Amino acid sequence: MSGKLTVRRTSFVTGTTKIAVPITGRTVDDILAQAQAAVSAHPDVIEWRIDYDQAGLDPAIYQATYAKLRQILGDTILLTTFRTAGEGGEADLDEAAYVTLYKRLIANELTDMLDVELHFSEEAISNLIYLAHQHNIKVILSAHEFQGTPPELEIINLLEQMQNQNADIAKIAAMPNKFKDVLTMMRATATESDKLEIPIIAISMGSLGRISRITAPLFGSVMSFATVGDASAPGQIAIDDLRTEMKRFETQ
């Protein structure tokens, strides 16, 4: 069965699903306003999508923004994500720039958790995960498939690859073209949640995949993404609705 991971005072364990709310501001004022609104809804995790604010990636601006953001968040977990364009993000960085950015965040301990994309080289991923762990930052290794849902065995192999690369959480999100694809994602995740030693986040995107966000506790996904304001991915559900619906499916 998937292992338990604790970040700050929150534990990620199969059978319960924590709620993350993305903030996608393009200016410092927007970032802080979104964070304030998100925290008032009491999510478990705030995901800061830093690909939305290219100007804010200047080291001095970023560090000042983080300090203000941390004050707003209190003890709420901060997950930091630069989502590249190929994985559905708002901007792009080549591998060298991506690694440089993340190394700076890690060295200055500017996050609790970091999303690292699986498509980068094994060497880059290994170095980032090693450095993150040296600073007690947990890593979500992620893959996003917008053209369709991979076959069940491929999903299983991806999740196992993430564990083998020392991720703290394995994440896969895919766009279903038919409801059978949603079931494929659920089945693969349920299988691996009984086998892997790390927790899993699994999402079927879009309106067809909304059921996977609600029933996440049943098939072993430990985090579901909700909205307070604008969505950052197709199919996200308002936090109050998600919380109410998801409670019916918790197994822990």
30-39, 88-97, 225-234: range with lowest mean pLDDT:
225-234
Q: Does 3 score more than 80 pLDDT? A: no
Res 231: pLDDT: 58
Q: Does 1 score more than 60 pLDDT? A: no
% pLDDT > 90, the chain:
85
Res 117: pLDDT: 98
What is the arithmetic mean of pLDDT over 235-252? 84
Q: Are 208 and 155 in contact (CB under 8 A)?
A: no
At 200, is the secondary structure helix, strand, or coil? strand
Query: What pLDDT, in 10s, does the model give residues 8-48?
Result: 999 999 889 999 999 999 999 999 999 999 999 999 999 99
Query: What pLDDT, in 10s, does the model give residues 215-227?
Result: 999 999 999 999 9
Res 252: pLDDT: 61
pLDDT category at 2 given cuts 50, 70, 90 is low
Alpha carbon 23 to its chain centroid, in Å, reads 12
Collect all residues with Cβ–Cβ distance below 8 Å to 181 and sequence separation of at least 6.
Answer: 148, 149, 174, 204, 208
Q: How many CB atoms lie within 10 A of CB 13?
A: 17
Res 250: pLDDT: 76
Cα separation of 198 and 168, whole Å? 6
Q: Where are the alpha helices (DSSP H) in the chain?
A: 28-40, 59-73, 95-107, 122-134, 152-164, 179-193, 210-214, 216-219, 239-247
Res 15: pLDDT: 87
pLDDT category at 151 given cuts 50, 70, 90 is very high
Mean pLDDT of the chain: 93
Query: What pLDDT, in 10s, does the model give residues 101-123?
Result: 999 999 999 999 999 999 999 99
- Output the known binding site: 47-49, 83, 213, 232, 236
138 given a catalytic annotation: no
80-89, 161-170, 223-232: range with lowest mean pLDDT:
223-232
Query: What pLDDT, in 10s, does the model give residues 50-65?
Result: 999 877 788 888 999 9
Q: Are 201 and 7 in contact (CB under 8 A)?
A: no
Res 219: pLDDT: 94
Which member of 144, 178, 195, 247 is catalytic?
144
- Output the known binding site for 3-dehydroquinate: 47-49, 83, 213, 232, 236
Q: Does 67 score more than 80 pLDDT? A: yes
Instruction: Sketch out the chain's domains with CATH numbers.
Output: 15-247 (3.20.20.70)
Which member of 18, 42, 133, 171 is catalytic?
171
144 given a catalytic annotation: yes
